[in-house]
Structure formats: structure tokens, C-alpha cells
Amino acid sequence: MLIIPAIDLKNGQAVRLYKGDYKQKTVYSEHPETLAVTFEQLGASFLHLVDLDGAKTGIVSNDSVIKKIKTLTHLKIQVGGGIRTLETIDYYLNQLGVDRVILGTAAVVDPDFLDAALVRFGPEKIVVGVDIKEGNIATKGWLDTSSHPYLEFLSDLEKRGLTTVVITDVSKDGTFLGPNFEWYDQIKAHTALKIIVSGGIKDQADLDEAALRKYEGVIVGKAYYEGKIDLKEAFLRC
């Protein structure tokens, strides 16, 4: 199972939001590229980046940080946050050298765009972030909630040729309450999509449980920053 450290980017800083609330922000580092180097030294092979500014505006806003990370590490990188055009995908993949992009709002409101992205770049380069809030899909940096039931949405993604999703339970994100594994298992039973768990990871026991349940990967953010997970040990165990 992949353990994927997360860096959420806002105004060039590494931050974390509480339940996606932009008003409840903690700054963890003024230099996210240094964090990325640390993650690689601890044993990471993959990095999860979120452009929080882009998630709100739809405009690439933290590419200078991504360039630094690419220069200083050999990490594979997936990036999400406000990716709503084929040109933006091309910029991330072919100019910044990102390994795959995560589509969120655009995949919900414009399925034709998702189809075009899958055809042009291939399913190995396109991931969809499925952010679930109160049983429905959240969009625009979790600021809006659609009326789209998530299981129906996942079935549609699979039919369109997608292979991997990052699924976030917004109610758990940044809370240290632990993931709702029974909920993730229901999703896993419903679809053949590879599932990357995001939101609520609190300790090594959560990582062990996720590995036991054979998810594709787990994203680790606040639990590392708050000293609740030893990533070096986690990489050795999982």
C-alpha cells in the first residue's frame, strides 16, 4: 500500500485546513520544498500536493513551489486543486513534470472534460478526487455541495475508463477521528476503482488497518505534522 504524504499549498506555504474550512488554517512551513525533501529522506516515493488557492479560483497558483520540489527531489507527484482545463493538465504534466493530476470540481460538473482528459493523457495520468460531504459530492474546495450521490458518481467514473480515485470524507479531514473504514469498504465493494483513502488518519493503527483492507493508498497529512505518525516506521511497515 502506498503511503502518500500530503502538502497543502496556500500562498506558497504548507498549511492544513480543518474540515476544509479556509478560515481554520494552520501554517506548518514557509518552505514546502524542504518538507518534500524530508518526506523523501524518510522513505516516501509519492507526494500529494493540493493547490488550495487554485481550488478556489481555478487558476494555477503554487507552481513555483512545485518546480522547487521537482528540482530538489525524485518524488513522484500528484497534484490537485482547480484543474479545470486541458491546458492546465498539459502544463502540470508536460511542463512541470508532475506524474498525475487530480480532477475534482471539473469532473463533477463537466464529464465531457473528464472524457477528453482521459483520451488525451490516459487513465494513468488522471485521478479524480471524490470529496464526500453529507453523502454528496463536494466541489470548489469543499465550499459547495452538489446533489450528486457519490456511489452513482463512482459508477459513472468507472464506466468512463477511470482507474484511480482519491476519496475524502470531508467530515473527517483534519479531525484525528480516524477514517470510517466500514464506509470505505462499502465503496470498495461497489466499484473496481483503485481507492486512495484521504481524511482522518490519526495514527499507525489506521495505516495498518488500511493496509489490511488492501486499499491502493493512504494520504497522510496532519497526523504527521502533529507528531502522531512516525513516517519512517510507517514506510517500513506498510
131 part of the active site: yes
* Integer Cα distance of 110 and 160 in angstroms: 13
DSSP code string of 60-97: ---HHHHHHHHHH---EEEEESS--SHHHHHIIIIIS-
The conformation of residue 11, written as its DSSP 8-state character, comes to T
Pick the catalytic residue: 8, 51, 53, 173?
A: 8
Interhelix angle for 150-159 vs 181-190, to 10°?
40
* Integer Cα distance of 99 and 107 in angstroms: 19
203 part of the active site: no
Sign of the CA dihedral with 115 first, then 165, 31, and 236 last: negative
Q: Classify burial at 203, counting beta carbons within 10 Å of its beta carbon; exposed 0-12, middle 13-18, buried 19 or more.
A: middle
Pick the catalytic residue: 131, 169, 173, 206?
A: 131
Active site residues: 8, 131
